[in-house]
Structures are given as structure tokens and as C-alpha cells.
Amino acid sequence: MGAKEPGGRPLSSEGEWADLKGKVILVVDDEPLNLKMMQALLSREGCQVLSARSGREALTLAEQRPDLILLDIMMPELNGLDTCRLLKEKEDLRDIPIVFLSALHDTETKTEGLRLGGVDFIAKPFQREELLARVRNHLTLKEQKERLKAYTQKLEHMVEQRTRQLVHADRLSTLGTLVAVVAHEINNPLQAVMSHTDLLFLDLESVKEKAERIADGTLKKDLSEFCQSIEGALQEIQKGCRRLQKNIRQLKQFGKRGDEKPVVMSIKQPIEDALAIMQARLKSGVTLDLNLPDRLQVMGNPLQLSQVFINLIQNALDAMDGRQGRLDISAAAEGGLIRVDFKDSGPGIPPDLWGKVFHPFFTTKGEKEGTGLGLFISRLIVENHRGSLELIPRAEAGAWFRITLPQVSAETALTGPLRS
């Protein structure tokens, strides 16, 4: 049961009946005196009243979508019941509440009216207080129904959105496992290649020693050039293998859950890890300017901080959208804190969105490209490291994000573990 005021007056969700001021009421009655009385009564309450003296005229005026219709039943040509039926057949009008006015009190007429879609009956001759009370009551119910419908649609959208995000998270979890398996499968043959390369280097040294003992000058020269060529090729193979090893280590780290204990590290380390992972995208015409001193140390989880830096780099590249651009990443110490700035030359973030970029599920990329969780999670990670992540307003084009973390020196360290 809904709440009521003393005396039985029903309350809306705000605690009051719907305000009649500004409401549009269509009054339909073939008696001019009844029309005049209802128009005067409702107008005094601030309503805008539309008047119709027939069912046909009511159908025309109903196209203005009034908030409620007071409809007489006994009318010539097209009676109130038939008018109601025709109104309910129109999809854009069927939600308008219809209250019948009638001197007929038989059960059959009332039942038929309710079956056709009417919401109430007011007996003629009507009392002023009763008519106003019923009008207010049905307008309140209409408003509550509209709010409930909007809220239901919002909930359905939220459920759909969260479902997509859970599917996305599940895919990421599966991807982490897949990455670890693939990295392992690549690592085994890679180790074999590196081992055989080392053996070839040893064999090559043996060949070079024997070449030195050859008396024929021409053959000795040709063999020496051949050995140099083979040595160069083996060195390139070694370099490629080391690069693959580094990539595999990064893939394995990506596949981990990131629950390692905090360690003291140079802030440069997780930034370089993030840049290595984003290396392919950084080749798309973006100029990278780095200013990262070696001795700026922080305490934290390198994988989590790498995730933050990956998000910021990816957002900057998305903003530049494959065009020629610039990404500046710099770090500096100031007052016991380490400040890391990410500045890009993209279009920037409009001022009206500055306060929303860290909200969960807020994205300007569209639901197919972004989850709206990147900056939200990044800020949580940074705050978990007793730091801050903020958007710095700037007059020129481009976005500027700043991460601030406590600095750790050789003499001091953070007290207490990171929050879980």
C-alpha cells in the first residue's frame, strides 16, 4: 500500500499529489454547461483545458497528447465508449488515462468502459472536490508509471552494459591464460634456436682458427669473408632471439594476476614496459619524447603501474587516431613526490567532460571500443599506491594527465603495505 496523508489522500513518490499547474486536460461532453463548469474548475487549478463537444472532435484534439481525458459516455453519433476504443487503437495515444463521465451507473456500462481501457468513472452530477481528487490521483499514477518505465529502461540498459563488461572481463581472463600458454610454447623452440646458435658460434671459431693455417692466400681470404658473413648472420639471430625472449617475459607478466608484493623500483621501469607492449602502435607516425631520469624510485606493484601507463598511452594514441602526433612522457621529483606527466597533441578533452573522465563506465569512444573503466581503474591503482591521478586543464589542444607518487630514497621507505 502506498503512503497516504491524513484523511486518505494518496502520496506520490515525492510525497505530494501531482501538481495540476500546466497539465493539459481534454474535456469531452455534448452539454455546453458541463463543459463550461469543468473548464472553469480546472482552469482555476492552473490546467490548460481543451474542450470537445463530440467524439469526432475529441479524436482530433487528442492528437495534441493531453495528460488526461475526461470523457462523457452519452453523446450522439460517436459515444464515449466507441471514442475510447478508437483512442486506444492509436499507439501514440493509448497511454493517456481516460476517466469516464456518466449518469449511467449500471455494472455493464462500467465493466465495458474498463475493458476498453478507461481508468475510472465519475458519476454525474459530479462533485467539485471528487472530480479534482480523481484527476489529481490519475495524473499522479501516470507520472509514477512514466518514472517507473524510464527507470526500468535504465536498469535494462545497465544490466545489458554490465553483461557486456563481464563478458569482456572473462575474455581478458581467458586471454591471460592463453598468453601464458602461447609464451611457453614459443619459449621452448626459441631456447633450442639459441642453444644451436651458441654451438654454431663455437664451430665458427674452430673454422676461423683452421682458416688461419691455410697457406693459399685467396682461399684464406674467401674463407675469412665467409666466416665474417656467417658471424654477422648469427649475431642477428641472437639479437632477434633476445628480443623474442624479452617479449615473452612481458607476455608472461601480462598473463599473471599481478598480486606480487610491492617492490622498490625506478619509475622508468613500468613506463618502459608499457612502451614495449605498445610498441607496434607507437610506430604509426607518433613522435615520442621521453624525459625519464633513472634514479626516481617508487614503491609499488610494477605490473599494476604498467597497466596504468598502458591505459594512458593507449588513450593518447586513440585520441590522435593514427594521425601524425606527439606524446611527451616526463618524470621529475618535487617535494618528496614523483610527478609523471603524459601530454599528447590530440584534440583534447572538452571542459564539460573534465569532471566525468574518471567516472566508471564513462567513455567517449563508444560502447564497442571502450568500456569506460580504463581511467577509473587507473585512478584506483594509483590511489592504492598512495598517489593521485588527475587531468590537468590546458588551454592548447591535447590532453594532459599527471600521476603523483611518493618518492622512495635510499634512506627512507613507505611505511606499511599497500591497501588491497
More confident residue, 403 or 311: 403
Measuring CA to CA, which residue among 118, 101, 141 is closest to residue 17?
Answer: 141
Q: What is the pLDDT of residue 148?
A: 83
Q: What is the pLDDT of residue 232?
A: 84
How far apart are the C-alpha atoms of 400 and 378, rounded to whole Å?
15
Q: How far out from the chain centre does Cα 359 lie?
A: 8
Mean pLDDT of 216-236: 80
Q: What is the pLDDT of residue 405?
A: 96
Q: 29 and 72 in contact (C-beta within 8 Å)?
A: yes
pTM here? Answer: 0.42
Q: What is the pLDDT of residue 247?
A: 65
Quick one: three-class SS letters along the chain?
A: CCCEECCCEECCCCCCCCCCCCCEEEEECCCHHHHHHHHHHHHHCCCEEEEECCHHHHHHHHHHCCCEEEEECCCCCCCHHHHHHHHHCCCCCCCCCEEEEECCCCHHHHHHHHHHCCCEEEECCCCHHHHHHHHHHHHHHHHHHHHHHHHHHHHHHHHHHHHHHHHHHHHHHHHHHHHHHHHHHHHHHHHHHHHHHHHHHHHHHHHHHHHHCCCCHHHHHHHHHHHHHHHHHHHHHHHHHHHHHHHHHHHHHHHCCCCCCCEEEECHHHHHHHHHHCHHHHCCCEEEEEECCCCCEEEECHHHHHHHHHHHHHHHHHHHCCCCEEEEEEEEEECCEEEEEEEECCCCCCHHHCCCCCCCCCCCCCCCCCCCCHHHHHHHHHHHCCCEEEECCCCCCCCEEEEEEECCCCCCCCCCCCCC
How far apart are the C-alpha atoms of 343 and 104, rounded to whole Å?
77
Q: Is the pLDDT of residue 248 over 60?
A: yes
Question: In the chain, what are the domains?
Answer: 21-126 (3.40.50.2300), 165-255 (1.10.287), 263-406 (3.30.565.10)
Q: How confident is the model at residue 15 (pLDDT cuts 50, 70, 90)?
A: very low
Mean pLDDT of 297-314: 89
Q: What is the pLDDT of residue 276?
A: 84
Q: Is the pLDDT of residue 16 over 80?
A: no
More confident residue, 188 or 303: 303
Q: What is the pLDDT of residue 268?
A: 93
Q: How confident is the model at residue 290 (pLDDT cuts 50, 70, 90)?
A: very high
How far apart are the C-alpha atoms of 168 and 176, rounded to whole Å?
12
Count other Cβ atoms within 10 Å, centred on residue 89: 10
How far apart are the C-alpha atoms of 267 and 406, rounded to whole Å?
11
Backbone angles phi, psi at 283, to 5 degrees: -85, 0
337-344 and 325-334 beta bridge pairing: antiparallel
Q: Is the pLDDT of residue 413 over 70?
A: no
Mean pLDDT of 209-233: 79
* Average pLDDT for the chain: 80
Q: What is the pLDDT of residue 8?
A: 43
Highest mean pLDDT among 112-116, 189-193, 257-261: 112-116
More confident residue, 361 or 231: 231
Q: 25 and 49 in contact (C-beta within 8 Å)?
A: yes
More confident residue, 353 or 292: 292
Q: 71 and 92 in contact (C-beta within 8 Å)?
A: no
Q: What is the pLDDT of residue 181?
A: 66
Q: 190 and 248 in contact (C-beta within 8 Å)?
A: yes
Question: For the chain, what percent of residues have pLDDT higher than 70?
Answer: 80
Mean pLDDT of 97-122: 88
Q: Is the pLDDT of residue 27 over 90?
A: yes
**Residues 16, 21, 23, 28: is their CA dihedral positive or negative?**
positive
Q: How confident is the model at residue 418 (pLDDT cuts 50, 70, 90)?
A: very low
Range of lowest pLDDT (178-187, 388-397, 404-413): 178-187
Provide the greatest CA pair distance for the chain.
133
pLDDT digits (tens, 9 = 90+) for 384-395: 899 999 998 877
C-alpha angle with apex 69: 88 to 29, nearest 5 degrees?
Answer: 110
Q: How confident is the model at residue 368 (pLDDT cuts 50, 70, 90)?
A: very low
R_g of the chain, CA atoms, integer Å: 38
Q: Is the pLDDT of residue 184 over 70?
A: no
Count other Cβ atoms within 10 Å, centred on residue 242: 12
Cell of 13: 513518490
Q: How confident is the model at residue 324 (pLDDT cuts 50, 70, 90)?
A: confident
Q: What is the pLDDT of residue 144?
A: 86
Q: Is the pLDDT of residue 189 over 90?
A: no
Q: How confident is the model at residue 415 (pLDDT cuts 50, 70, 90)?
A: very low
Mean pLDDT of 275-293: 82
Range of lowest pLDDT (4-13, 40-49, 226-235): 4-13
Residue given cell 593521485 in the structure block: 388
Residue given cell 569482456 in the structure block: 168
Mutual orientation of helices 128-212 and 32-44 as an angle, nearest 10°?
Answer: 60
Range of lowest pLDDT (106-110, 142-146, 164-168, 394-398): 164-168
Provide the terminal-to-terminal Cα distance of the chain, rounded to the nearest Å.
45
pLDDT digits (tens, 9 = 90+) for 63-79: 999 999 999 999 988 99
How far apart are the C-alpha atoms of 412 and 34, rounded to whole Å?
88
